[in-house]
Amino acid sequence: MDVSEAILARKSVRAFLDKPVARATIDQVLEVARYAPSGTNTQPWHVVVLSAEPMRQLQQKMIAQFEAHGPGQADYRYYPREWRSPYIERRRACGLQLYQTLGIKKEDKARQREQWVANYRAFGAPVMLLFFMERDLEAGSYMDYGMFLQSVMLAAQGAGLATCPQASVADFPTVVRDFLGYEASMLLLCGIALGYEDTAAPVNSYRTPREPLDNFVEYI
């Protein structure tokens, strides 16, 4: 699989097979991804690989926190304070596509909530990756991290694995840090669900659209 094929094949997978991922395969993915570029080669990434019982324990802690208090507060602001066009329309279309695929109606708040809780279970993936960086790093490191995350997902695609990047995992940074014994100086950016795609699951049957070049490219 060449780079273009991997980019076009990658998608956010929300149902995984009950099939373990070998540590050697995970190492292979991260070994490739570590060559992602970063400003002055700072390499700001720190990765935690969770699976089996430790992963389930952390997931239950996040779910319990969600059930008790609702969505938490990430270490940083991911989305704009006020949504505006065209971004609000794209966001709504994305959510609508997911719910329509799953047959979840707008008024069915229980099933919507259930689907949201699936985020904290990493959609049943056998591996959950957590991504941290030092809190005192600046905006450039966020840009570097984006390149690293894409490298992880493309390397996983090349290894026959599926992924789903998850900002939602960062909803409960204190829960996660306490579980891992990390200091508050370690900022939790996001997670990635990692495993083998369940190709028979309806939720994996759709692809979100992308804007045509004319909408965002200007040649001068």
Tabulate helix, strand, coil % of the chain (nearest 5): 50, 15, 35
Handedness of CA 140, 143, 145, 147 (dihedral sign): negative
Looking only at the bridges linking them, the beta strands covering 46-51 and 186-195 are: unpaired
> Mean per-residue pLDDT for 23-42?
98
β-partners of residue 130 are 48, 191
Is 156:98 a contact under the CB 8 Å cutoff? no
pLDDT for 178 equals: 98
Q: For the chain, what is the mean pLDDT?
A: 97
Residues 3-79+119-209, CATH architecture: 3-Layer(aba) Sandwich (3.40)
**Distance separating alpha carbons of residues 194 and 186, to the nearest angstrom:** 22
The per-residue pLDDT for 84 is 98
Residues above pLDDT 70, as percent of the chain = 100
b/e per residue 71-100 (b: at least 16 CB within 10 A): ebebbeeeeeeeeeeeeeeeeeeeeeebbe
pLDDT in tens, 62-73: 999 999 999 899
Q: Once rounded to an integer, what is the mean pLDDT over residues 87-104? A: 96
CA distance 170 to 113: 17
* Least confident stretch, 26-30, 102-106, 142-146, 186-190: 102-106
- pLDDT score recorded for residue 205: 96
Instruction: Report the 10 Å Cβ neighbour count for 110.
Output: 9
Q: Mark out the alpha helices in 47-201 (DSSP H runs).
A: 52-69, 87-102, 109-120, 139-158, 173-180
* pLDDT tens digits along 128-137: 999 999 999 9
pLDDT of residue 71: 87
d(CA 134, CA 144): 13
Band (pLDDT 50/70/90 cuts) for residue 139 is very high
What percent of the chain lies above the pLDDT cut of 90? Answer: 99
pLDDT(1) > 90? no
Spell out the domain ranges in the chain. Answer: 3-79+119-209
Nearest-angstrom CA–CA distance, 175 and 39: 30
pLDDT in tens, 172-212: 999 999 999 999 999 999 999 999 999 999 999 999 999 99
